[in-house]
Amino acid sequence: MPVITVYEVVKKLAREAGDEVASAALSLMQRGHVVPVDLPLALDAATRGLPLADSLIYATAQRHGAELWTQDAHFEGLAGVRYFRKP
């Protein structure tokens, strides 16, 4: 997962569920492969036409052949994305 996803998840969970929940989520995410942002990824993301974090997340998924699951409407209709509307 892109490092920007770690940032977004921890930030949101800390704000909405508390530091303990955010810390537990961080521990789980660190078990996976965390992808840093490098120059080629940043340049690829810049061509995606999405907000900064979304561009980096999408470019990372595309680079690694990963299917992106999200409830973020910015991703709706993009190749390689499974979008689920928020209830």
Number of domains in the chain: 1
DSSP H or E stretch at residue 51: none
- The parent domain of residue 18 ranges over 3-83
| Contact (Cβ atoms closer than 8 angstroms) between residue 49 and residue 62 | no
pTM for the whole structure: 0.84
Residue 46's closest CA among 59, 36, 37, 35?
59
The predicted-structure confidence for 43-61, as pLDDT tens digits, reads as follows: 999 999 999 999 999 999 9
List of residues 6+ apart from 52 with CB closer than 8 A: 45
Instruction: Please check the confidence at residue 87 and state whether its pLDDT lies above 90.
Output: no
Say whether pLDDT at 29 is over 90. yes
State the average pLDDT for the chain: 95
- Check pLDDT > 90 for residue 18: yes
- Count CA within 13 A, CB hemisphere, residue 6: 17
| pLDDT greater than 90 at residue 64 | yes
Instruction: At 9, list the tokens.
Output: 């998840």
